[in-house]
Amino acid sequence: MIPTLYLIPSTLGAENVNDFLPEGTLTIIRSLQYFIVEDSKTARAFLKTCSITIPQSELVIQELDKHQPDQDMAELLLPMKSGISMGLLSEAGCPGVADPGARVVAEAHRNGYKVMPLVGPSSLLLALMASGLSGQQFCFHGYLPIDKAERMKKIQRMEEAAKSKKETQLFIETPYRNNQLLADLLQYLSGETKICLASDLTTPDEHIRTLKVKDWKKSPPELHKKPCVF
Amino acid sequence: MIPTLYLIPSTLGAENVNDFLPEGTLTIIRSLQYFIVEDSKTARAFLKTCSITIPQSELVIQELDKHQPDQDMAELLLPMKSGISMGLLSEAGCPGVADPGARVVAEAHRNGYKVMPLVGPSSLLLALMASGLSGQQFCFHGYLPIDKAERMKKIQRMEEAAKSKKETQLFIETPYRNNQLLADLLQYLSGETKICLASDLTTPDEHIRTLKVKDWKKSPPELHKKPCVF
């Protein structure tokens, strides 16, 4: 039988996994013994909240580092050569989306293994849904350039694409730099351009609001250290 | 209390909602009486599979048409003026993503209502996760142009963006035109460009495979009438 690489979403900071992961996803997590993760400590803590029945000491957990060379991807998937299915787990949200997991998935495809994505929370998708901005066409840019001039150019190019193609632009920032990014957006964008700020998604502090730049300027929110999708 | 517009994902063709919707999402669906949907008949069938306890005759279901003028969005949300929370339901997958729901969400933001996205399946996100292609930067284009020359130009522009920016390009097609779209891609793209075909997601017929164009050419799959993300 062809083994399967299951792509396992994890919660975004919420404690109750049942609120955010379907029973179908949890059942598969509980059936697996082999995992590829970003950080074993947080992965073990997450698996515990999923009420796994395999003792932690019997789990085989390998860490994926974004700086690892390509040949290491093949090594991570070695158990699949013996027909064992594995789980690829993200630190938060969906593996392969704004995280280093895609290289492992690509290696699985190269070997002809089955790849099965499981349903769970993605901050990008939740933010897009809740923004009220177009979901007919959208672009995710990851992190914006740090260099001041390049960043300004990127922001202006995104505004141009949003206007001319009616394409929603999504991006993220290291949480302790969120306030600076918002300040830059309010400085460089036209007053009529809409910004959605979606922070602390799926937690009790979740806050999602879409306003025009000129309205955000009146009372810019405090985003310091809050995970936020722009 | 400020009422909430809940954004409710529906299944993608799977029968068992528990496999694909978290208990948290199902609990909220069961608490609601007012819904905005695309088609009441399929919406009622979906709500039934969610084991709602409110009798169908007491549900208040309004239909959203993508051709409706903006003022109708305000009318759809009228119950929220009296403090009633509502659910916005997609035909398949997540409301506001590749569907007409975003205009309702925008109206909710204009009125200062709370907007809460719920976790559930999105074919675009599942396809992206499972593709093994970059999820650090990606763009969703909706449907490609139908005009032959324009379509070719669009396909070439997407390939250029994929190469120069390492940005994954996602798009969809009306299912009965899938084979034609695949033929066009295989004709216009370079042999080394990778295509992921993700069809019938979350169903027993789910099929996800990423290959280079030159390899797809050897045995192009049958995609006729299968919901597919490219």
**B102-149 pLDDT per residue, tens:** 999 999 999 999 999 999 999 999 999 999 999 999 999 999 999 999
**Sequence-distant (≥ 6) Cβ neighbours of residue B34 within 8 angstroms:** B59, B60, B62, B79, B84, B85, B86, B87
**Residue A66 pLDDT level (bands cut at 50, 70, 90):** confident
> In a mutagenesis test of the A interface, which of B129, B157, B202, B205 is the best target, namely the one with the most A β-carbons within 10 Å?
B129
| Residue that is written with structure tokens 């948290």 in the block | B24
CB-nearest to B98 from A18, A130, A135 is: A135
> In this complex, do A102 and B16 lie within 8 Å of one another by their Cβ atoms?
no
Contact B142 A136 (CB under 8 A): yes
Handedness of CA A229, B5, B6, B7 (dihedral sign): negative
Distance from CA of A187 to the nearest CA of B (A): 23
Average pLDDT (B95-105) is 92
First to last CA, chain A: 43
pLDDT of residue B141: 97
User: Is residue B12 a contact partner of residue B121, using CB atoms and an 8 Å limit?
Assistant: yes
Range in B100-104, B167-171, B186-190 with the lowest mean pLDDT: B100-104
Share of chain B above pLDDT 90, in %: 92
Question: Tell me, what's the pLDDT at B131?
Answer: 98
Residue A147's CB is within 10 A of a number of other CB atoms, namely 10
> How far is C-alpha A95 from the geometric centre of its chain's CA atoms?
7
Q: Indicate if the pLDDT at residue A15 is higher than 80.
A: no
Query: Do A208 and B22 make contact, defined as CB atoms within 8 angstroms?
Result: no
Which residue in the set B22, B95, B131 is minimally distant from A129, CB to CB? B95
Residues 6+ apart with CB under 8 A from B170: B124, B127, B128, B138, B139, B140, B141, B229, B230
Span B143-166, average pLDDT: 96
Counting beta carbons within 10 angstroms of the beta carbon of residue B25, is it exposed (0 to 12), middle (13 to 18) or buried (19 or more)?
Answer: buried
* Mean pLDDT confidence for A196-211: 96
Contact state of B116 with A95 under an 8 Å Cβ cutoff = no
Q: State residue B189's pLDDT score.
A: 98
The b-or-e profile of B71-104 (16+ CB within 10 A means b, else e) is ebbeebbebbeeeebbbbbbbbbbbbbbbbbbbb
Q: What percent of chain B has pLDDT over 70?
A: 100
- CA torsion B41-B43-B44-B46 (nearest 10°) is 120
Taking residues A26-51, what's their average pLDDT? 96
Output DSSP code: residue B202. T
B7, B18, B210 member nearest A22 (Cβ):
B18
Report the pLDDT value the prediction gives residue A14, as an integer from 0 to 100: 80
> What's the confidence (pLDDT) of residue A1?
80
pLDDT digit string, tens, across residues A68-95? 888 899 999 999 999 999 999 999 899 9
CA distances from B145 to B28, B102, B190 (A): 39, 22, 20
**Which residues of chain A have a CB within 8 Å of the CB of B26?**
none
Whether B132 sits inside 8 A of A103 (CB atoms) is yes
Give the pLDDT of residue A68. 84
Query: Nearest-CA distance from A129 to chain B in Å?
Result: 5
Domains A4-117 and A123-229 share a fold: no
Tokens of residue B27, six digits: 């609990």
Residue B203, helix vs strand vs coil: coil
Which CATH number is A123-229's, of 3.30.1330.40, 3.30.950.10, 3.40.50.300, 2.40.40.20? 3.30.950.10
Q: Which of A22, A137, A208 sits opposite B22 (nearest CB)?
A: A22
Which segments within A9-77 are labelled E, that is strand? 34-37, 60-63
DSSP B93: B
**Partner-chain contact B115 A106, CB within 8 Å:** no
User: What is the distance between the alpha carbons of residues B195 and A173, in angstroms, rounded to a whole number?
Assistant: 29
Encoded amino acid at B134, one letter: S
Contacting residues of B for A22, CB less than 8 Å apart: 18-23, 120
pLDDT category of residue B18 using cuts at 50, 70 and 90: very high
pTM of the model: 0.96
pLDDT confidence of residue A67: 83
High-pLDDT (> 70) share of chain A, % = 100
In terms of Cβ atoms closer than 10 Å to its own Cβ (0-12, 13-18, 19+), residue A205 is: exposed
pLDDT for B65: 84
Instruction: Report, in this order, helix, strand and coil percent for chain B, each rounded to 5.
Output: 40, 20, 40
Q: Which CATH class is domain A4-117?
A: alpha beta
pLDDT of residue B31: 97
Mean pLDDT of A137-144: 97
pLDDT digits (tens, 9 = 90+) for A102-125: 999 999 999 999 999 999 999 999
Q: How close is the nearest chain B Cα to the Cα of A179, in Å?
A: 22
Cβ atoms of A137 and A167 closer than 8 Å: yes
Q: What is the DSSP letter of B10?
A: B
Mean pLDDT over residues A170-186, rounded? 97
- Do A119 and B20 lie within an 8 Å CB cutoff? yes
Q: Give the closest-approach CA distance of A106 to chain B in angstroms.
A: 4
Q: Which of B50, B99, B125 would best serve as a mutation to test chain A binding (most A beta carbons within 10 A)? A: B125
Helix (H), strand (E) at residue B211: strand B207-212
**Separation between Cα atoms, residue A43 and residue A48, nearest integer Å:** 9
Amino acid code (one letter) for A182:
L
Of A21, A101, A208, the CB nearest to B22: A21
Please provide the average confidence, as pLDDT, over all residues in chain B: 95
Mean pLDDT of all residues in A154-160: 97
**Long-range Cβ pairs for the range A150-154 (8 Å, 24+):** A151/A184, A152/A184, A152/A188
Residue-level pLDDT at A169: 98
**Domain locations in chain A as residue ranges:** 4-117, 123-229
Q: Which residues contact B229 (CB under 8 A, 6 or more apart)?
A: B123, B124, B126, B127, B170, B171, B172, B196, B197, B198, B199, B201
Tell me how far the alpha carbon of residue B162 is from its chain's centroid: 22
CB contact under 8 A, B106 and A132: yes
Q: How far is B229 from chain A (nearest CA, A)?
A: 14
